[in-house]
């Protein structure tokens, strides 16, 4: 099962994770549901029958209600950690089971704290997973290093073990600590980077193309460099983690941590279509996170997110298949 691309050929298993406790901005929970329901509706309305035939009925991961959650934001006290951990335990098992069926888990956020669960599920099914992290943020903060204290900025710190003391359950979800070595991560498009994160990236020699470097390299050339890094690191499967805040906030306001100078819709489409054609290693699981429809009442961000998600999964403009 290593010679074909799950993005293009596998049965698709949407796994919605209506989580906002990691970003502490209500609304990404609605994003998960909007993507879950909108994808099938878009394909039904557009008569994308070959894509619909590959689409499994969605799974929705329950997220517990934290009492008085909206009165307890931004306290840097990890009050939401237990609910996040509980959801990620279920998510890791769902991703794990989906990969074992040789279907593609499509983890629909929800905020990026869910990556601790999805990466754990992927790690359980490969000798060495490579994580292609396309995001404005490196999300490799520890509790101490984080400026915000928001857990959605910490999933890769849990994954490489540097947050294991503060996030013990999350860090152990794969059954091994750490889940990843630093050479298993490739960053593309990062541009809002905390000082602590910069030190972590440089000290651990983590592959990174900032948004400026990616732009200067050329979008495809930089993408090829990131994939080549993971291939050279000896990984045998890829987990794609795509945060919609990598898009430019001018065209995509519907996300909580906006930062200027992001990808255009066409550049993001180019990246996702390239990945759909790439066959060197299986792209075997993916996250699509941080859509917050409440921050863009026009609905354009949700439509853009659905367009890009559908593109990632094989929808093309003139070929319904």
Give catalytic residues, as residue numbers: 112, 135, 137, 139, 152, 243, 245, 290
Per CB under 5 A, the segment of 11-19, 35-43, 96-104, 242-250 that binds Mn ion is 242-250
- The answer to whether residue 243 forms part of the interface with Mn ion (CB under 5 A) is yes
Of 116-124, 134-142, 180-188, 294-302, the segment contacting Mn ion by CB under 5 A is 134-142
Give whole-number Cα distances, 70 to 27, 155, 256, in Å.
Answer: 12, 22, 16
Q: Between 81 and 115, name the residue whose CB sits nearer to Mn ion.
A: 115
Tell me the residue number closest to Mn ion, measured at CB. 137
306 with 39: CB under 8 angstroms?
yes
Between the alpha carbon of residue 107 and those of residues 90, 209, 243, 257, 288, the distances in Å are 12, 24, 11, 20, 6
Binding flags for Mn ion, 190-229, as an x/- string (CB under 5 A): ----------------------------------------
Q: If binding is defined by CB under 5 A, does position 135 make contact with Mn ion?
A: yes
Q: SS3 sequence, 203-251?
A: HCCCEEEEHHHHHHHCHHHHHHHHHHHHHHCCCCEEEEEEEHHHECCCC
Q: By C-alpha distance, which of 5, 3, 1 is closest to 274?
A: 5
**Could you give phi then psi for residue 258, rounded to 5 degrees?**
-85, 145
**What number of other Cβ atoms are within 10 A of residue 153's Cβ?**
27
Minimum CB distance to Mn ion smaller for 98 or for 136:
136
The region of 133-141, 176-184, 210-218, 230-238 touching Mn ion under the rule CB under 5 A is 133-141
If DSSP codes are grouped into helix, strand and coil, which group holds residue 4? coil
Q: How far is the CB of 277 from Mn ion (least distance, A)?
A: 26
Question: Which is it for strands 237-243 and 129-134: parallel, antiparallel or unpaired?
Answer: parallel
Of the candidate residues 36, 103, 137, 150, the single one contacting Mn ion (CB under 5 A) = 137
Pick between residue 259 and residue 278 the one whose CB is nearest to Mn ion.
Answer: 259
C-beta of 139: minimal distance to Mn ion in Å?
6
* 245 scored as a contact of Mn ion (CB under 5 A): yes
Nearest distance in Å: CB 42, Mn ion: 24
- Judged by the rule CB under 5 A, the positions of this chain that interact with Mn ion are 135-137, 243, 245
């Amino acid at each position: 099962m290593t010679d074909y691309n799950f993005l293009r050929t596998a049965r698709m298993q949407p796994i919605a994770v209506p989580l906002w406790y990691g970003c502490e901005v209500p609304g990404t929970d609605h994003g998960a549901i909007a993507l879950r329901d909108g994808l099938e509706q878009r394909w039904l309305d557009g008569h994308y029958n070959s894509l619909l035939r590959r689409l499994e009925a969605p799974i929705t991961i329950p997220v517990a209600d934290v009492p008085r959650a909206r009165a307890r934001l931004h306290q840097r006290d990890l009050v939401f950690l237990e609910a996040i951990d509980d959801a990620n335990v279920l998510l890791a098992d769902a991703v794990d089971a989906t990969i074992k069926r040789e279907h593609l888990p499509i983890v629909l956020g929800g905020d990026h704290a869910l990556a601790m669960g999805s990466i754990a599920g992927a790690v359980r099914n490969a000798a060495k997973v490579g994580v292609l992290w396309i995001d404005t943020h490196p999300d490799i903060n520890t509790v101490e290093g984080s400026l915000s204290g928001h857990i959605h900025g910490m999933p890769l710190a849990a994954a490489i073990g540097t947050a294991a003391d503060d996030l013990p359950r999350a860090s152990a979800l794969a059954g091994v600590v750490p889940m990843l070595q630093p050479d298993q991560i490739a960053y593309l498009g990062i541009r809002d980077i905390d000082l602590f994160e910069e030190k972590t990236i440089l000290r651990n020699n983590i592959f990174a193309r900032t948004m400026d470097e990616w732009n200067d390299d050329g979008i495809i050339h930089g993408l090829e460099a990131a994939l080549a890094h993971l291939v050279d690191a000896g990984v045998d499967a890829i987990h794609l983690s795509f945060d919609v805040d990598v898009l430019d906030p001018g065209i995509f306001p519907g996300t909580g941590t906006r930062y200027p100078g992001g990808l255009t819709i066409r550049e993001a489409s180019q990246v996702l279509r390239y990945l759909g054609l790439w066959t060197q290693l299986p792209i075997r699981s993916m996250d699509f996170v941080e859509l917050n429809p409440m921050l863009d009442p026009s609905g354009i961000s949700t439509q853009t997110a659905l367009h890009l998600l559908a593109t990632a999964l094989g929808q093309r403009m003139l070929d319904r298949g």
